[in-house]
Structure 1
Amino acid sequence: MAGTATQKAGTAEPTRRDFIVVAASAFGAVGAAAAVWPFIDQMNPSADVLALSSTEVDLSQIAAGQSVTILWRGKPVFVRHRTEAEIATARKDDTADLKDPEKDEARVKKPEWLVMMGVCTHLGCVPLGQQGEYGGWFCPCHGSHYDTSGRIRKGPAPLNLPVPEYTFLTDTRIRIG
């Protein structure tokens, strides 16, 4: 018998042409990605937007029982230096019948400092501080009452006042955002 086929059908070895096709495809994919990247990169936030993404607050000027309102990302943020009585009331109210149950300790990183967004969760109004039936915040637009931990207690608002991301940089300075 002259020359028998030692190769099975369908298992051809890669040829030089196969290598060239794979290499050209990979080169084309890299080129396409390089061409598209500037269009994708231009969708990243600009430097002025990134500068607004966080803000630092000096807590040393806020006396116990006092609140300040900070503007962050175009929205008010309430920073309150709570008194011992307010902390005790907030912790006692952990067992109250709450619309949006959340313990006081889950809303604060240090008990004496309460940091939360100052926007009512009903229709986006700005609540008034240290008013209402629970000694916290009161939204006069539709009658929502929040307690000393910013939890909804009465009225149409469905949720507690949200707590933004914040970290303590020192004992007297926080970064919001």
Structure 2
Amino acid sequence: MASSTDTTPTDTAADGVRRRDFIEIAAVATAGVGGIFALLPLVSQMAPSKDVLAASTTELDISALEPGQAIKAEFRKQPVFVRYLTDAEIAEANAVDVGSLRDAQTLAERTQPGHEHILVVMGVCTHLGCVPLGAAEGEVKGEYGGYFCPCHGSHYDTAARIRKGPAPTNLEVPEYTFTSDTTIVIG
């Protein structure tokens, strides 16, 4: 009978464990790298396309706007109205008792400090999404001199606040910034 000291099972076991550990580490590393390469196309396809990124902001030059005029633009495939309010329109908007409004907002809350004469609103009626009239010259401005939605008769004042009709809220003011006194970036 041979004694257990004749062979060195610990040496061969140690060599086998080292090889096995290396194979396991190599297999896990290969699977990890393969997993990353499999996930990259899935993650990158969720990024917005170039046309969506291009439509995420709209830059407008308002240097040609004179008091009382408005322009229509497009932001994310929806109309935007930019109006240069006259002193009379500002006074009329500020004279309204805010407590009497359905969606109480002052003109100052709807414009930016230092640019109170420029009103930027989405040109989409808050009732059912029609495009109100009043931005172009000669269009009906409604009973309050702002905007009028011909679909169901909503009337907005000069600050684009709902005054009469079925619309539940004021015309939405999008996020925008002035990059200069004559340039607005919406979005």
Which band: TM-score by shorter chain?
Answer: 0.7 to 0.9
1:120-139 matches, within 5 Å, as: 120-129=125-134, 131-139=141-149
Largest Rg, 1 or 2: 2
Deviation at 1:27, TM superposition (A): 6.8
Partner of 1:155: 165
Pick from 109, 116, 122: which aligns with 2:121? 116
Deviation at 1:74, TM superposition (A): 1.1
- Unpaired runs of 5+ in structure 1? 1-15
User: Which whole-Å CA distance do the structure 2 matches of 1:21 and 1:87 have between them?
Assistant: 75
- Unpaired runs of 5+ in structure 2? 1-17, 135-139
Tell me the TM-score normalized by structure 1. Answer: 0.81
Deviation at 1:120, TM superposition (A): 0.3
Pick from 41, 57, 60: which aligns with 2:63? 60
User: Which whole-Å CA distance do the structure 2 matches of 1:148 and 1:45 have between them?
Assistant: 37
User: Which whole-Å CA distance do the structure 1 matches of 2:144 and 2:61 have between them?
Assistant: 28
Indicate if the aligned counterparts of 1:94 and 1:104 stay in contact, CA closer than 8 A. Answer: no
The answer on 1:144 being equivalent to 2:132 is no
Indicate if the aligned counterparts of 2:98 and 2:105 stay in contact, CA closer than 8 A. Answer: no
Tell me the TM-score normalized by structure 2. Answer: 0.77
RMSD: 2.3
Go from structure 1 to structure 2 and tell me whether the alpha carbon gap of 1:171 and 1:29 turns closer, same or farther (over 3 Å shift): same
Deviation at 1:133, TM superposition (A): 1.4
1:11-160 matches, within 5 Å, as: 28-29=31-32, 31-109=34-112, 110-129=115-134, 131-160=141-170
User: Which whole-Å CA distance do the structure 2 matches of 1:155 and 1:106 have between them?
Assistant: 22
